[in-house]
Amino acid sequence: MAVPISAPLPEPRSVRPAEPVPAPLSADAIVTAPKVLLHDHLDGGLRPATLIDLAERIGYRSLPSGDARGLASWFAESAYSGSLERYLETFTHTLAVMQIRESLVRVASECAQDLAADGVVYAEVRFAPELHTEQDLTLDEVVQAVLDGFAAGSLAAAEGGHQIRVRALLTAMRHAARSREIAELSIAFRDRGVAGFDIAGAEAGFPPTRHLDAFEYLRRESAHFTIHAGEGFGLPSIWEAIQWCGADRLGHGVRIVDDIEVGRDGRAHLGRLAEYVRDKRIPLEMAPTSNVQTGAAQSIAEHPIGLLAELKFRVTVNTDNRLMSGCSMTSEMTALSEAFGYGWDTLQWFTVNAMKSAFLPFDERLEIIEQVIKPGYDRLRSSAVAGGTSVASVTAAGTT
């Protein structure tokens, strides 16, 4: 990893290609590292076998495959279409089986357990309550079912030796007109496991300012929210999300690179918006595989996360939709380690970045950083040294 994480950053900065590292970190090692996940969709993370089982129970016969492996490949193929709109179509199937309390509790519980088994110690998982009321559930019942599932799953994970804290983010659909109602729902549940609010869905044609009323309401309530922006659409979407709506974080935010020029001399020149995002430490919830699938990046190796990490934006690593992308936090971090040569210091930096950016009270964030994340990566560094792998000695957690 070429980023000298604790070094001061001159302006404008020279951007050098990542230095090759002898061996990328293995998935077997990364799965044991403590990880923090801020951007994961509940309806994008079902186990294929559960999807099939739930479909059978309710008589849903439109699944494209009846076996778990075939279904997993169908999702992966559809997700690689290169279009965000088509990618979103895959959710028809997952949402179809998530319309009764029993299903929601099970999916949420398995989500918590799967993340815990992947080494995730804190997660914010989002879902859109309005998409789960096709039968007779009310919005409140949808939220309560998911929270009950997270609690049950976290308990089961703890009994199996994996500690995880899971919070919910309530999402409103950007093409719909229920954002104020969903924002109010997030406030009603703010002390019962809902940590924040989000808007999602196709970006083109549906700018975040359509939902200004919801965001202004949340700001008056001193509440947290993130906005999907800068994935399917460019800088104007990011600009509106931050400067009009007041987003605490950006869902993806990949296109912020459109406001950065790297000259022939290798120096990066930031435009005003990019500079603002970096100066204000606005977290970028990046999901490399998902971004490649939706066409927001050409490949993991060409993903802007490399440049943005090098320039010390507040970058975080996320899964987005584990089923559609066939990914996990471990696979995302492994792919990044392979593509950019990232070692433990950088993976810790991503993790601390995410924990600092979580919609959790400050003291709880600090506790997880000091008592779980730092000791966890220290252990991995010492075992790497004991095993003969060289690691840099910089302290990643010191830089925001």
Which of residues 240 and 320 has its CB atom nearest to Zn ion in the complex? 320
What is the DSSP annotation of 318-371?
A: --B-HHHHT--HHHHHHHHHHHH---HHHHHHHHHHHHHHSSS-HHHHHHHIII
- Residue closest to Zn ion, measured at CB: 320
Alpha carbon distance 263, 15 (integer Å): 9
From the CB of 262, what's the least distance to Zn ion, in Å? 27
> Does 338 qualify as catalytic in the annotation?
no
Q: Which of 231, 240, 285, 332 is catalytic?
A: 231
Alpha carbon distance 108, 388 (integer Å): 41
From the CB of 399, what's the least distance to Zn ion, in Å? 26
The CA-based angle 176-101-113, given to 5 degrees, is: 100
**C-alpha 245: how far from chain center:** 20
Which of residues 248 and 310 has its CB atom nearest to Zn ion in the complex? 248
**C-alpha 314: how far from chain center:** 13
Going through 201-287 in order, the beta strands assigned E by DSSP cover 225-229, 249-252, 260-262, 267-270, 284-286
Q: Show the DSSP H helices in 249-343 as ranges.
A: 272-279, 288-293, 305-310, 322-325, 329-340
From the CB of 39, what's the least distance to Zn ion, in Å? 6
> What backbone torsions phi and psi does residue 75 show, to the nearest 5 degrees?
-65, -45
Cβ-in-10-Å burial (0-12, 13-18, 19+) of 351 comes to: buried
Which of residues 259 and 320 has its CB atom nearest to Zn ion in the complex? 320
Which of residues 39 and 381 has its CB atom nearest to Zn ion in the complex? 39
DSSP 192: T
From the CB of 29, what's the least distance to Zn ion, in Å? 27
Alpha carbon distance 228, 247 (integer Å): 10
Which of residues 12 and 201 has its CB atom nearest to Zn ion in the complex? 201
Which of residues 320 and 332 has its CB atom nearest to Zn ion in the complex? 320
Query: 380: which 2 tokens?
Result: 């991995």
> What backbone torsions phi and psi does residue 166 show, to the nearest 5 degrees?
-125, 130
The residues that touch Zn ion, with contacts defined as CB under 5 A, are 320
Which of residues 149 and 232 has its CB atom nearest to Zn ion in the complex? 232
Contacts of 262 (CB under 8 A, 6+ apart): 15, 268, 269, 307
Alpha carbon distance 229, 226 (integer Å): 9
> What backbone torsions phi and psi does residue 273 show, to the nearest 5 degrees?
-70, -45
Q: Catalytic residue positions?
A: 231
